[in-house]
Chain A
């Protein structure tokens, strides 16, 4: 079977105030990326973005600020080199200053998901020492165990992102 080859970039949107992340939606991210590519590489860079079926925001987690971008395979490096120049995203009338941090480049969305589950588990481990009291700690330990056991399944993925929210409160 022949398919259109593409590259999935798993990016993390870093902001100063994490509550701003909830304002994000995929259209705003798409517009910011398009805008920056046009500014950096002009018409030549913007041309590959016209394949609407290839250039997409596949997934956006507004709680953790994780976004999957899909780029055509033959020119993803050109498009990726524009991503560091994004300084703000305009969404729902607010200007959110942020930066993109690319975590992983994968050929399929499945490898990206596997990486993301591992990454989220790692994040939980990093946050564990910052807990305020013992109950919170237990809760997170439970969450880590759960998502480690169910690795590769969809529930684990959701659980990981949910527990991360719990902890920030």
Chain B
């Protein structure tokens, strides 16, 4: 028995992942897969650093990680966008995830640090080589543009400096509507006490504005000792003002909808995600799906 989820241009992928929760227990276990969408690829360091990072992430129980290539364009001269190294060149055999039988899934992600609107080129062919696309806007104007128009998956929030602008309701709501997620990374907070204050202050400002929706928490770790386990990361985000449920979603299902959003962006019209449910489980009828369990029509009792 197969369950279909349609993610089209009009419906945000967050809504799609909601639909999936209505399935049987099988789909519930898919929901709670943990992801860490930010492992920094150090250009200068050799491959062993990244390898140990991925191995540690698998040991901690992350099923999907994304290797982040940071691209910071300067106005002076034209720079080349880094091209991702295929993961099978980096590591011969991917480690098995803790508690599961599958190997870890590794994605590539590009983060563009923007200080000018010309830095983001919507039709650049280089972007298509990456699985995920993130922007880090440094001015309010760019933040507004990133939320409302840019075709990206993740908007990074500054964690190493005081917030250069205030988050306004309108762009943030626009981003949530379009299925773009906001990212808070915690490894700067682990490194230094001043950064910790900035991280917590900026994250609280964000969570206040977006009410805990579409926030993902990721590590941005460069060394393996900067990674934290998924439960720790979820509990840590309680400090950012997220509620218990939102904190758990920040490391699992919101990340999943980000990955689905990225797949949608790469394909032309939309994607179909199929999930196998157990044969005994009958799927709920389509009109019942949206209603909570208590409001569904009760089956007629017969004598």
Contact = CB atoms under 8 A, between A and B. Distances in A.
Q: Which of A39, A83, A99, A122 has the most CB of B within 10 A?
A: A99
A41 to B, nearest CB: 10
Interface in A51-105: 77, 80-81, 83-85, 87, 97-103
B232 A122 contact: no
B186 interface: yes
B225 A84 contact: no
A16 B224 contact: yes
A126 B97 CA distance: 9
B3 interface: no
Contact of A16 (B189, B225, B229, B233): B225
Given A85-B190, A101-B60, A80 B235 contact: yes
Main secondary structure of the interface of B (DSSP, over half): helix
Given A77-B238, A81-B238, A122 B190 contact: no
A103 B231 CA distance: 8
Contact of A98 (B98, B225, B238): B225
A161 interface: no
B1 interface: no
Number of contact residues on A: which range applies? 10 to 19
Sorting the interface of chain B by its residue count into under 10, 10 to 19, 20 to 34 or 35 or more gives: 20 to 34
A81 B239 contact: yes
Contacts of B236: 81, 84
A112 to B, nearest CB: 14
A163 interface: no
A148 interface: no
B37 interface: no
Contacts of B235: 77, 80-81, 84, 102
B228 interface: yes
A122 B99 contact: yes
Given A101-B228, A103-B229, 5 more contacts: A84-B235, A99-B228, A101-B229, A102-B231, A126-B96
